[in-house]
């Protein structure tokens, strides 16, 4: 939830390491890491095109000071690997993009926003394990069948 907590230096170091892993110089393309699909870092300018260019998009709203937010990074990356390219995954830094936080009425962090054809269709606030988000994603985007679902 919103509020300062935890060791900020340690958290910032973890987030910087994750970003370096995603944007490594030896890996072609921005935000790309070995075996990872694109996880877009979204801004006010890129948000709308991102959620409308694909039928399904999931956005993680986070902040560097948010205690549970780093726990969501590997979960979010695993979901992106599993559901790409049918579902696009992006992240919004709440501190850098307060206008998006207000626009989507984000009241706690982390918040996961689910978009279908550019329209917000579901949201979750808090840190959740992979299985919980996997089930929610399938329930929210049940059509067409997502990877692993019966056709």
CA 73 to chain centre: 8
Task: Give pLDDT, residue 54.
Answer: 84
- Can you give the pTM of this predicted structure? 0.73
Task: Give pLDDT, residue 104.
Answer: 97
Q: In what order do the strands lie in the sheet with 39-41?
A: 39-41, 87-93, 56-62, 111-116, 119-125
Give catalytic status of residue 69 as yes or no.
yes
The residue length of the chain stands at 151
Give the chain's domains with CATH numbers.
8-21+33-140 (3.40.30.10)
Give catalytic status of residue 150 as yes or no.
no
| pLDDT tens sequence across 45-102 | 999 999 999 899 999 999 999 999 999 999 999 999 999 888 999 999 999 999 999 9
Mean pLDDT value across the chain: 80
What phi-psi label fits residue 138: left (phi over 0), alpha (psi between -120 and 50 degrees) or beta? alpha
Catalytic pick from 11, 42, 61, 69?
69
Catalytic pick from 58, 63, 66, 72?
66
Contacts of 117 (CB under 8 A, 6+ apart): 52, 55
What span, in angstroms and rounded, lies between the C-alpha atoms of 121 and 21?
A: 31
């Amino acid at each position: 939830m919103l509020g300062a907590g935890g060791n900020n230096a340690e958290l910032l170091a973890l987030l910087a390491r994750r970003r370096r892993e995603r944007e490594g110089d030896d890996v072609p393309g921005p935000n790309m890491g070995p075996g990872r699909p694109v996880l877009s870092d979204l801004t006010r300018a890129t948000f709308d095109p991102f959620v409308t260019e694909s039928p399904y998009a999931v956005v993680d709203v986070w902040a560097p000071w948010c205690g549970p937010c780093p726990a969501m990074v590997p979960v979010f990356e695993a979901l992106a690997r599993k559901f790409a390219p049918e579902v696009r995954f992006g992240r919004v830094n709440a501190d850098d993009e307060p206008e998006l936080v207000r626009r989507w009425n984000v009241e706690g962090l982390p918040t996961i926003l689910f978009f279908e054809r550019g329209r917000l269709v579901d949201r979750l606030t808090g840190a959740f394990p992979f299985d919980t988000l996997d089930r929610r994603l399938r329930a929210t985007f049940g059509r067409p069948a997502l990877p692993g679902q019966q056709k």
